Structure 1
Amino acid sequence: MDLHMGSNKGFIIPPVINHGSHDEHATSAARADQPHEGRSRKSGGFAEAERMESRLYMTFSLATNAFAQPLTNYLIKRYNMKQNTATDVANIFSGTSSFSPVVGAFAADALWGRFRTLVFGIVAAFLGMVIVTLSATISHLKPPSCGDVARQAAGECAGPSGIHLAVLYIGMALHVVAAAGFNPTSIPFGADQFDAANDNEGEEAAGLKRYYNWCYAVAMAASFVAFTFVPYVQDKVSWGLSFGIPTALMLVAFAVFLAGTPLYVHVPPEGSIFSSVARVLVASCRKWSLKLPHPRDARQQEAHLYNPPFVAGGNGRVFKLPLTLQLTFFNKAAIIMTDADEIRPDGTPARPWSLCSVQQVEEVKCLVKIIPVWISGLLSFIVSTELTNYTFLQALTMDLHIGSSSKGFTIPPVSIIAVYNLTILLFVPVYDLLIARAAQRVTKVEGGITVLQRQGVGVAISAVALVVAAVFERRRRGSALENGGITSPMSVFLLSPQLAVMGIAVAFNMIGQLEFYNTQFPDQMRTLANAAFYCAQGASNYMATLVVNIVNARTRRHGGGQGWVPNDINAGKLDYFYYAMAVFAVVNLIYFLVCSYFYRYKGWKGSIHGSYGERVSAAVGAGQPHRLYMATAMAFNAFAQPVTNYLIKRYNMKPNTATKVTNIFSGTYSFSPVVGAFVADAFCGRFWTLLFGAVAALVAMVVITLSATISQLKPPSCSDVARQAGTCAGPSSLHRAVLYIGMALLVVATGGYQPTSLPFGADQFDLNTSRRDTSDGNETNGRCHEDNEPAGLKRYYNWYYVINTAAAFVALTFIVYIQDKVSWGLGFAIPTALLLAGLAVFLAGAPLYVYVHPQGSIFSSVARVLVASCRNSSLRLPHPRDARQQVAHLYNPPVVVGGGNGRVFKLPLTLQLSFLNKAAIVTDAENEIKPDGSPARPWRLCSVQQVEETKCLVKIIPVWISGVMWFITLAELTNYTFLQALTMDLHMGKRFIVPPVSIVAIFYLSIVLFVPVYDLLITRAAQRVTKVEGGVTVLQRQGVGVAISAVSLVVAAVTERRRRASVSPPSVFLLAPQLAVMGVSAAFNMIGQMEFYNTQFPDQMRTLANAAFYCAQGASSYLATLVVNIVNARTRRHGGGQGWVVNDINAGRLDNFYYTMAVFAGINFVYFLVCSYFYRYKDEPQEEADSSPVTREAVLVKIG
């Protein structure tokens, strides 16, 4: 297994995209206002590639990670490579993959454009996966299998031949090319499809319609893969099949993507992000013989250079940089030789390769000055990579037991690396809360030390870590040689000190690097900041391999033998290698000190343009709630995900009972965030709601941990045989009380932290505060002003990295492994401890937070309309049959946009639900309307906009109820299909056994396969007949889904009757048809619901749209349980026995229950037809004959 903690083995790197320099933004903006080239169909939609991209991104990531993640293990086991060789190959592959997106971004922006680069990357990925799959499948393309671990360790297995390596390396090279083409272009290409400024013909709406399809299809595909395929197949079946499945998925996604090519917007290449840099270099070289005016005075020199008014590049959040006297050679690029020739009448340079602005010059200086520090960061990555790589190899030769007995718990060798992650997790709070504050009192610098000083401390500590590693390696090697030269009886935990010290080094250095790049890069090239960080990681993979090869070559030449770092570390001198790397770290420290001495921080002086102001805030506020959310979510999921299994195995509940409890639990926590959002906005505020939720989560996890640990709080253990026979002792009242209290507290916690954590972090950003300026124009003063960066932003970088480290640590060993292999109690205790730590750190920052007072619930406007219309019930509406004339007599002020999104549609008055129109009747304008136009009594007078928004919500409710009923049918089918699977033959062939829960994956698979068919064939065919965009309306789509759900339940009933009557257990795949048909139903109804809520909710309440969708799911969980209880009660009373749906489904009549649910779906279908008949879309024109409502004419209100 590859252990490069600094490498990105998945190589799905966030795209690094920029569009030219700051003086090109005006041109780009002008281009954005024109229709994009390449759109050949008006109905193509602006989100055509957005939905395609999300699916492509999922399949590409799935395919490449299926190969890249287990690469080292694959090379050792299937190619019989030696450990050192496999590690070197994986390092080179990972490093190349990390660099390649930068090349791809350049090619896309400067030469080919995004579409061609994207297609090129996908083709390369597909060919790469085909080659890798063939090499893992065809025996002639790989070495013969060598199953004997001892022979493999001894190097006696046949290694790969030339053709084996050639095929493998071709596949890997294609993966690197694929990363270069796909990673930097996929998401930007999807974004190119949206053009709100030219949406006169509804093209964006068409694209958005398709986006709902693909958004949900991607989610289903991810669910399906997570359900069964890639992890299970790789471990249990074969490497070839595990590569083949994602390859096939990628091919399908790519074919569908290409089918939509004529509809896409193809934005021509706009020039590389490095073009401005190149222009400065060329211009300064052309003017190298010129002399700069006032060479020792930056203020006077700047007055004589080309320094036009600053043009912010569209984001309004860019700082103008003052001229500095470092790297003054570049200043010559801004010398104006002849005003009339070099500057146009509009102030732009006539020859941009001969004249550049001061802003361009200073941005280039920022990049050039960063390079030496970046190199030091690269050297630091090499050090950490070498330590973690060879610590793993050391662990392979040591005692892996926890405890004294050889039969005790054995940890995987890779898990020892978790000490490194855990150290970072524990040290950063200590640094942030104690060390930084103590240092700040002495140095008077914000954060205690500057960002470069922080990196330097990390470099120094890394040298100490390597010395510690060398000392322990000498002890380990001596012990191993005394015991036959293979393994050492020493505990693997003796490696903890070296990992812990390196973790502290990383807590200083790596987080310092992140902050340095993000603060010192030019503002308009900020997207390159993280690219610089990851490129340093990628380069370190190359250099780590090179360092090992150089060391081995030199030590073989002068010392004989295999060198210091051979494949068998007991035969080498790994301690000497660690000492050499410690010297390497010291040399890096000296180099870094020299770089830091000459470095000048990016100047804060200058005009602040746009609305950005100060980049204030705290990860104090922005990061700590996010970290607390991660800890809380981790704790919640540690219980919620396996809850049914936990109730059956640890509480001896019967499957039916456990399913009901789970349904109620999931239903309640699905609703709770809506309640929490209301409480936070209307009463308590976000901080107190968030804190309440976190405390509730902590108490809940303590209760659950105790209930899983203390024997008196849970039923006695029970074997699988006794559980099957139903003879296990069930939970007592005390057991249930403790369990339900814990679950109830988790529900309360979800209501508190989910709707408030991220918004509370956003509250910490104050965009109206100006950044402090330097007091002197000379650049030397800029050195002392790094401490002007707000404290919150400094802490944000800390906690950003901590969150990732914590996630890596938990994923590496604890949660999943411990719950499955050790105990439930410990599996709950660990996230509880992490939650406690997160809450403690969160509270420690309480004095620094920004607290936004409650501003009233989003439902307050609805309540006001209802109250005002009731109060005005006795009044008569003017012109009751003519909406145009009626609106002239009602209160209809200009729309006030409060959401900050700049896109709110003013709704015209309609005559549906006209009783609510009375809320806008003005009876006494002088007393009811203030001089500023606002209502004097908002509970008596509401605007037409408020009235129409209320109508939107009221009209949605009947359709939402039908959605709840559809979710009930889905819940019943999937729940009891699982119980059916438990009683059936689970074999696929003679050997492979399908887990019972995996059969439900067919539901997800059918959605994934059907959505492309629907979108490419059914929709287009229907559109030719109906002339409706999308083929059918969003309500018609939902109705089709409801009808198909009834068919699915009939199929399920027929299959259940056959299963129940069968003498021998039938194949579990007999359940596939009912799941497949229900998947088709979901492709119609579920996606239809998502689109309906997102398009029909009032624009200023759009955040409620997804809440409505998930609340429907939550309601269905309650009602699914209620339906089962009612059916059982009625069938016991009239048919005797236990009812139709009992714990032993063979003793019940599940087929009759399915028929009943089919009737239920039929009733829902009729109800839905009635609702649809009377429903009027928010943007639907209406007849004026009788009702005369105003044709919906959306007025787009823009914030200037």
Structure 2
Amino acid sequence: MTSLHGGGNNTSLSSDTEAPPPTAAARRRGGWITTPFIIATVFGLTVAAGGWSANLIVFLINEFNIQRIDAAQIANVVNGCVNFFPLLAAVAADSLFGCFSVIWVSSVLSLLGLILFLLTVAVDGLKPAPSEPASSGQYAVLYSGVVLASIGLGGTRFILATMGADQLSKQQQQATFFNWYFFSMYSASFISSTAIVYVEDNVGWRWGLGIGLAANALALSLFLVGAPYYSRDEPRASPFTGLLRVAVVAFRKRKVKTTTADYYHGDDGVKRGDEDAPTNWFSQLNRAAVKVDGDILPNGSVAAPWKLCTVQQVEDLKSLIRILPLWSSSIFLGTPIGVQLSLTILQSLASDRRLTSSFTFSASSIIVFSFLSTAIGVVLIDRCLRPAWKRLTPGKKDLTPLQLIGIGHVLNFASMALSAVVESRRRRRLISVMWLVPQMVVVGLGEAFHFPGQVGLYYQEFPACLKGVATAMVAMLVGVAFYLSTAVVDLMRRVTDWLPDNIDEGRLDYVYWVMVVIGVANFGYFLVISWLYHYKNGKVVSKDEIA
């Protein structure tokens, strides 16, 4: 890792007297010095969130007497919400409050949610008696805690990734930060899904949720301690307004000719691209940047904002349109994962979880093998696979984001096929829970390829004004995928008898084979879209290139 003081964004501190340039440079913020605070915050908040989210299905079944398939469906809905909130948080960060404010407020909400979770098990009357349904008041406290904790988790997870990358000015440094980010997140998920889940199942929910509460409070404190070192961009006007203006102005000027057009580059007249005119792709939008009589005032400013846009705004909208088909191909990449994670926990509950005469494996902890596989996979890909690929391929080229995502697709549907084979065996005889480990390892390796690949792709290809939204789009597609997985499971329950409450009487293996078919078909769609896609400026930005 490079020096902890290098690579920061230049941010001068104002004073009443004019300061010379060296003083301003010395007082800049950002750089590697901020990374320990942000990574520690990611780690602590992930540990806190994993304590309730990883064991939510078991908590609903054992503490609130909810049926098993219903508990799995509720968990999928919660996971969907957790992954939708980052987009709302990103819009708020980019347009209104900035990353710093969104993160600390969301951390406080997460803390409040964990307090309510703890109260449901610590206060008599806030959870139902054994074998009795919960009352409306008990559900109100439970779901209030779920909502607050979900908003808090969603409002921090990917905004922290954006804020951490924004502290660094070089592409190579940002790529290194993303690797540390994913490693810390999945390592923390592994710890929370083993140690904390074990405490919840064997010592008590009060202790497990109390540890998560303490981890959340510590993470929030560490994040605030680092406040003097962060580089903070001032919130801007909503970038979505500028993108919408391009579409509106292009429609208004649909009859304007562009053959000899004079394009607008901004009030200062400085061209911010390599060309005088916008690119030819989706050329209908170019009319939004064509200057006509009355568009420009004598002082050089725009007469009406909704009558003229800059070339950069036009190109920003084009890059967003260009990336959306690729983004959509990842929705059905996440849908099988959502189905698999919830059903694997049910498989674990129906398996022999005794590892020794005195130790029983927690059902929810089966997913830790996915987290561990992803954490190790991220390191191996970055330190072993990518260097080896560059040495062995002509031109010494690095793996592109699309290649990483494609490998993730293959490993994804391979893990579903493995799940189907294992479930066929489990139905015939009682098997050890360790038979479920390989499918978790394979899906975890898939995530080690496609999640960093997607974050790197979107951060590179999205407009500069949407960097927060770029990383949040990964969370959003996971949210859509979890909702779709809930819909898929619900549909199968309606039209088949594969998913009864007692899975030993059903056919989970058939469900997994359906996921394999969906995964293979989606991979074909991804290949077509990838073949048609052109990177921004017509080239791939390598991990080793400097921005």
1:953 aligns with 2:320: yes
Q: 1:868 to 1:1158 in 2, by over 3 A?
A: same
d(CA) in 2 for partners of 1:933, 1:1197: 35
Contact preservation (8 Å) 1:700, 1:743: yes
1:1030 aligns with 2:401: no
Indicate the residue corresponding to 1:1167 in structure 2: 525
1:647 aligns with 2:60: yes
> Aligned partner of 1:1093: which letter?
Y
1:913 is aligned, of 253, 267, 282, to: 282
Matches within 5 A, 1:869-908: 869-872=250-253, 874-879=254-259, 889-893=262-266
1:1059 aligns with 2:426: yes
Indicate the residue corresponding to 1:864 in structure 2: 245
Matches within 5 A, 1:610-629: 610-612=23-25
d(CA) in 2 for partners of 1:928, 1:1059: 71
Q: 1:1019 to 1:1044 in 2, by over 3 A?
A: farther
String of CA shifts for 1:604-623, please: whole Å, max 9, x gaps.
xx97834247699xxxxxxx
1:666 aligns with 2:57: no
Displacement of 1:686 in angstroms is 7.3
d(CA) in 1 for partners of 2:349, 2:305: 59
1:1104 aligns with 2:469: yes
d(CA) in 2 for partners of 1:1077, 1:700: 33
Indicate the residue corresponding to 2:127 in structure 1: 714
d(CA) in 1 for partners of 2:396, 2:38: 46
d(CA) in 2 for partners of 1:838, 1:1010: 28
TM, length-normalised to structure 2: 0.71
d(CA) in 2 for partners of 1:824, 1:680: 35
Displacement of 1:680 in angstroms is 4.8
Matches within 5 A, 1:508-587: none
Displacement of 1:1086 in angstroms is 3.5
Displacement of 1:1146 in angstroms is 1.1
Indicate the residue corresponding to 1:1046 in structure 2: 413
Contact preservation (8 Å) 1:971, 1:1117: yes
1:742 is aligned, of 145, 149, 168, to: 145
TM, length-normalised to structure 1: 0.35
Q: Which moved more, 1:689-698 or 1:1097-1106?
A: 689-698
Indicate the residue corresponding to 2:339 in structure 1: 972
Contact preservation (8 Å) 1:1010, 1:1083: no
Displacement of 1:1125 in angstroms is 1.0
Displacement of 1:950 in angstroms is 1.2
Displacement of 1:691 in angstroms is 7.7
Contact preservation (8 Å) 1:906, 1:1197: no
Q: Which runs of 5+ in 2 are unaligned?
A: 11-18, 30-36, 165-191, 225-231
d(CA) in 2 for partners of 1:936, 1:1145: 67
String of CA shifts for 1:754-807, please: whole Å, max 9, x gaps.
78899999xxxxxxxxxxxxxxxxxxxxxxxxxxxxxxxxxxxxxxxxxxxxxx
d(CA) in 2 for partners of 1:657, 1:733: 17
Matches within 5 A, 1:694-705: 696-697=109-110, 699-705=112-118
Contact preservation (8 Å) 2:94, 2:235: yes
d(CA) in 1 for partners of 2:420, 2:161: 45
> Aligned partner of 1:856: which letter?
A
d(CA) in 1 for partners of 2:440, 2:212: 35
String of CA shifts for 1:836-876, please: whole Å, max 9, x gaps.
99999x99xxxxxxx9985312333222222222332x324
d(CA) in 2 for partners of 1:1125, 1:1090: 30
Indicate the residue corresponding to 2:487 in structure 1: 1122
d(CA) in 2 for partners of 1:991, 1:953: 56
Indicate the residue corresponding to 1:1090 in structure 2: 455
Displacement of 1:1153 in angstroms is 0.6
d(CA) in 1 for partners of 2:218, 2:435: 49
d(CA) in 1 for partners of 2:208, 2:321: 45
String of CA shifts for 1:526-546, please: whole Å, max 9, x gaps.
xxxxxxxxxxxxxxxxxxxxx
Contact preservation (8 Å) 1:869, 1:916: yes
String of CA shifts for 1:698-743, please: whole Å, max 9, x gaps.
65345433332333321114xxxxxxxxxx3343443323211221
String of CA shifts for 1:193-247, please: whole Å, max 9, x gaps.
xxxxxxxxxxxxxxxxxxxxxxxxxxxxxxxxxxxxxxxxxxxxxxxxxxxxxxx
Displacement of 1:688 in angstroms is 7.6
Cα RMSD for the two superposed structures: 5.1
> Aligned partner of 1:1098: which letter?
P
Q: 1:1098 to 1:1015 in 2, by over 3 A?
A: same
Matches within 5 A, 1:193-592: none
Displacement of 1:956 in angstroms is 1.1
Q: 1:676 to 1:895 in 2, by over 3 A?
A: farther
Larger RCO (CA within 8 A; separation ≥ 6): 2
Displacement of 1:1151 in angstroms is 1.1
String of CA shifts for 1:289-331, please: whole Å, max 9, x gaps.
xxxxxxxxxxxxxxxxxxxxxxxx99999xxxxxxxxxxxxxx
d(CA) in 2 for partners of 1:852, 1:949: 19
Indicate the residue corresponding to 2:13 in structure 1: none
Displacement of 1:947 in angstroms is 1.0
Where 1:670 maps in the other structure, the secondary structure is helix
Displacement of 1:1157 in angstroms is 0.8
Contact preservation (8 Å) 1:316, 1:609: no
Q: 1:1084 to 1:315 in 2, by over 3 A?
A: closer
Contact preservation (8 Å) 1:968, 1:1116: yes
Contact preservation (8 Å) 2:91, 2:469: no
d(CA) in 1 for partners of 2:307, 2:424: 61
Matches within 5 A, 1:71-220: 187-188=1-2
d(CA) in 2 for partners of 1:1016, 1:972: 34
Q: How many residues align?
A: 491
String of CA shifts for 1:161-186, please: whole Å, max 9, x gaps.
xxxxxxxxxxxxxxxxxxxxxxxxxx
d(CA) in 1 for partners of 2:464, 2:343: 39
Displacement of 1:895 in angstroms is 9.0
Q: 1:1094 to 1:689 in 2, by over 3 A?
A: closer
Q: 1:696 to 1:1100 in 2, by over 3 A?
A: closer
Displacement of 1:921 in angstroms is 1.8
Q: Which runs of 5+ in 1 are unaligned?
A: 1-186, 193-312, 318-605, 617-623, 718-727, 762-810, 844-850, 880-885, 898-903, 1132-1138, 1182-1191
Where 1:856 maps in the other structure, the secondary structure is coil
Indicate the residue corresponding to 1:568 in structure 2: none
> Aligned partner of 2:484: which letter?
L
d(CA) in 2 for partners of 1:744, 1:316: 36
d(CA) in 2 for partners of 1:615, 1:1098: 25
Matches within 5 A, 1:1066-1081: 1066-1079=431-444, 1081=446
Where 1:947 maps in the other structure, the secondary structure is helix
d(CA) in 2 for partners of 1:632, 1:997: 19
Structure with higher Rg: it is 1
Q: 1:687 to 1:1117 in 2, by over 3 A?
A: same
